[in-house]
Amino acid sequence: MQQSWQQWNRKARALMWVLTLVGVLAALPLGATRWQMEETAKKVEFVFDYRALVQVASYQAHPKEFIDEQLTNMKDAGIHSMAVYESTLEEMIWADRLSVYNSESASELAGKPVPRDENYTYIQFAGKEEETALRPMIEATFAGWDIPVKPWSFEGGSGLILETPTENALLKPMYPDPMSVQTIRDKGLAILLRLSDRMTYDQEATDQLLASYQEMGVKRILFDGTAVKGYRDNPEMKSIAGFASLLKQYGIGIVTIENSKPQKGLNSLAYLTDYNVARLYSLSDSDAATMSPEAISDRFQLAAKDRNIRMFFLKAAPSRNSEKSSVVHPLNNIYDALKGPEGAVAKLEGLGFSMGYAEPFDYQSPSWHKPLKAVICLGAVALIALLVSAFLPSVAIPVFLLGLLGCAGLYVVSKPMLEQGLALGAAISAPTLGIIWAIGRVRAHTTGNLRPVGGAADTPPATGMRWFFPGLSAGRRLTMALSIFAMTSVISMLGTPYVFGLLNNITYSLVLEQFRGVSLLHLAPIALSALYVFLFTGDSVIGNIRKLLMMQITVLWVVVVAVLGIAGMYYLSRTGNEGQAPQLELVFRNILESAFGVRPRFKEFMLSHPLFLFGLFLALRYRAAWVFFIVGSIGQLSMVDTLAHIHTPLYISLIRVALGLGMGAIIGLVFIAVWQVLEGVWKRWLSRIALKVQHSFKSGA
């Protein structure tokens, strides 16, 4: 009965491999759809923060003249748009639109006693033009906050009295300053509207605002704060749906900011606007001041090419410089980063991008995607079951059936959770199965039935384990190592179609939704490979566990474990987007980027791939070299992880993987060549020692 069940499990595993390959084939058309989508948005938009420009100008002798000059410089440098915020009284003070006084200072200005029990805000407009443009907006804003507004004048200048303290009045948001908008448009620059959720949502007022800005050519809104406009009032007013309908009506899209938590309501708004979304990278004012123009230019180039960024947000801040004894700004540094043959604009144009309004990706989800995804899910379950059966061969069938049952339940509960869970399982399973297959091939040629005649004894020595396997020539070991290395990589790459096939949704490309479990992907294949090497490559698992438990712990072992722990912590710190690379590695990255246009992953071609190929060559002769399979698992999982960066163009990820394999194999061959030379020198030295010892025995005799 047990023998029959094992036969059924072996046949089931063969069927699961077929299902795995069918799932891979089903995922390829979805990858092609994504590839086509990534080629549809080729315009890059540089945006400058107008509020920051006003703040810098407030430290200049002639602020208006300074703003006028810098707007011209920005357009010449390649900046396309200016980000215009909801205005405040404070911003209008910076722009010299008006003056603000509290009750005490207004009374002193008029030479009158300070009114008792009064703490109001007094506004005086700079001139008739400012009053005409701003007075209706200010009156409407404070009336909306139920704050009484009265007229006021001083020495022929018109103004307003706001019956609220100055500290409170300065915080109230209003619609963007119309005078600033007109100034920007007169310079031939576009407007990027920045709206917040700080004002009570008003569908009619928002309709009028968007209609007026559509006439000005506004194409996109970047939200200011932690939530999209209308989020706070959505439970009572369904304001997000109302706002989305207005955005679609006027053809205005939204923006998501890279490396920041999505603003509340952004995912819903993106869905309701058919994903008319552009990704934005924000250069901080500190980076604008401290980074070199070349470094800023390179950062923009990589963001557009490698991360599908189509908008770049630029800021500047005034700062005191004691050496120059003046207040300085980084605007010229930004211009230098954009202009010239080595500037960001020229580099991006050389890559096929053009400057203009950032466009959304043309995302299509045809009906035939659904049946293909069902096939991909089936293949992913089969792949995961194959991994489990590699450790527990008799459970292949029940694991597969349980997997199908679990998928049905998850599909009802949460489709995204199902897709992410299967993608993570496939991403872990493929590289682990690749390493296990490599271990099996090496075992077959050293201790198994494929070993060369005389290469190993039929029975192990008295110690219980054979550590040396003679019989294979260096040339034969090299060709075998190369073929095993190549096939292992092919098996590992079977996991990548499952990742981009199951996560074939625009939400992942726009990073509105992220692939979970990256840390587990970076650890599980390593841990499982180590488990297989130490427990499943001897006579029995129980025997190997017993040997490990009976091993004598020495100071050397403690040191080794400590070193491995530190290495593991460093390895984990380098995973994800927040990992920091050493300066030497950054320099090397830039060299590779310049040489190939796409840089391979450092840990693949400099560490894991070379040591894996080198370890395969050694493992066909030395048992101790089997630990290199654990190091090899890092590179194998990293290839799958590279394709799990959904926001990176698919062709970039594929080139990166291919370069890593090619360069890693070359470095591995260098390691092998050096080893062969050192091994030859060692053998000759040992033979000379042996001859000397033999000669001394003869002389003594």
> For residue range 623-671, what is the model confidence (pLDDT) as tens digits?
888 889 999 999 999 999 999 999 999 999 999 999 999 999 999 999 9
**Phi, psi at 422, each rounded to 5°:** -70, -40
Q: DSSP string covering 403-451, please?
A: HHHHHHHHHHH-HHHHHHHHHHHHHHHHHHHHHHHHHHHHHHHHTSTTS
Based on the domain organization, do 18 and 52 belong to the same domain? no
Q: Name the most confidently modeled range: 74-78, 460-464, 550-554, 619-623.
A: 74-78
CA separation for the pair 665, 486 (Å, rounded): 9
In this predicted model, what pLDDT tens digit does every residue of 40-62 receive, in sequence order?
999 999 999 999 999 999 899 99
Based on the domain organization, do 93 and 130 belong to the same domain? yes
Based on the domain organization, do 400 and 316 belong to the same domain? no
CA angle centred on 596, ends 491 and 673, rounded to 5° = 60
In this predicted model, what pLDDT tens digit does every residue of 336-349 receive, in sequence order?
999 999 999 999 99
User: Parallel, antiparallel, or unpaired for β 81-84 and 43-49?
Assistant: parallel
Q: Is residue 696 included in any domain, yes or no?
A: no
Q: Is residue 681 included in any domain, yes or no?
A: yes
Quick one: average pLDDT of 541-570?
66
Q: Is residue 695 included in any domain, yes or no?
A: no
**578 confidence band (pLDDT: 50, 70, 90):** very low
pLDDT at 453 over 70: no
Based on the domain organization, do 380 and 337 belong to the same domain? no
Based on the domain organization, do 80 and 93 belong to the same domain? no
Quick one: average pLDDT of 401-422?
93
pLDDT at 567 over 70: no
Tell me, what DSSP letter sits at residue 116?
A: T
Contact 88, 173 (CB under 8 A): yes
**699 confidence band (pLDDT: 50, 70, 90):** low
Buried b (16+ CB within 10 A) or exposed e, 127-159: eeebbebbbeebeebbeeeebebeebeeeeebb
Based on the domain organization, do 417 and 485 belong to the same domain? yes
Range of lowest pLDDT (63-77, 164-178, 593-607): 593-607
Q: Is residue 326 included in any domain, yes or no?
A: yes
Q: Is residue 96 included in any domain, yes or no?
A: yes
Quick one: average pLDDT of 244-258?
96
Outline where 273-414 has alpha helix (H): 285-290, 293-307, 331-338, 344-350, 369-391, 396-413
190: three-class secondary structure by DSSP: strand
pLDDT at 306 over 60: yes
Quick one: average pLDDT of 210-235?
94
CA 42 from chain centre, in angstroms, equals: 20
Pick the last residue of a domain from 335, 355, 375: 355
- The single residue listed with the structure tokens 């990176």 is 648
Based on the domain organization, do 170 and 308 belong to the same domain? no
Quick one: average pLDDT of 199-219?
92
**Phi, psi at 552, each rounded to 5°:** -80, 125
Tell me, what DSSP letter sits at residue 202?
A: -
Range of lowest pLDDT (379-393, 582-596, 613-627): 582-596
Q: For residue 288, give the CATH number of its domain.
A: 3.20.20
Which residues constitute the domain of residue 298?
A: 44-85+177-355
Q: What is the pLDDT of residue 697?
A: 63
Average pLDDT, the chain: 89
Pick the last residue of a domain from 324, 355, 386: 355
Q: What is the pLDDT of residue 262?
A: 85
CB atoms within 10 A of CB 282: 18
Q: How many CA atoms lie within 13 A of 314 on its CB side?
A: 28
- Counting the structural domains of the chain, the total is 3
Q: Is residue 532 included in any domain, yes or no?
A: yes
- The single residue listed with the structure tokens 């500290």 is 167
Contact 28, 63 (CB under 8 A): no
Q: Is residue 698 included in any domain, yes or no?
A: no
CA separation for the pair 629, 443 (Å, rounded): 12
**566 confidence band (pLDDT: 50, 70, 90):** low
Q: Is 692 exposed, middle or buried (0-12, 13-18, 19+ CB in 10 A)?
A: exposed
- The single residue listed with the structure tokens 């450092």 is 602
Share of the chain above pLDDT 70, in %: 90
Radius of gyration of the chain (CA): 34
Pick the last residue of a domain from 292, 326, 355: 355
Contact 23, 497 (CB under 8 A): yes
Q: What is the pLDDT of residue 455?
A: 52
CA separation for the pair 123, 547 (Å, rounded): 85
Based on the domain organization, do 152 and 236 belong to the same domain? no
Based on the domain organization, do 629 and 673 belong to the same domain? yes
Q: Give bridge partners of residue 174 from the DSSP assignment.
A: 87
Based on the domain organization, do 473 and 560 belong to the same domain? yes
Q: Is residue 697 included in any domain, yes or no?
A: no
Based on the domain organization, do 111 and 79 belong to the same domain? no
Based on the domain organization, do 215 and 343 belong to the same domain? yes
In this predicted model, what pLDDT tens digit does every residue of 3-20 receive, in sequence order?
787 788 888 999 999 999
Q: Give bridge partners of residue 161 from the DSSP assignment.
A: 122, 150
pLDDT greater at residue 561 or residue 457? 561
Q: What is the pLDDT of residue 8?
A: 85
Quick one: average pLDDT of 201-230?
93
pLDDT at 462 over 50: no
Tokens representing residue 307 in the block: 């991360």
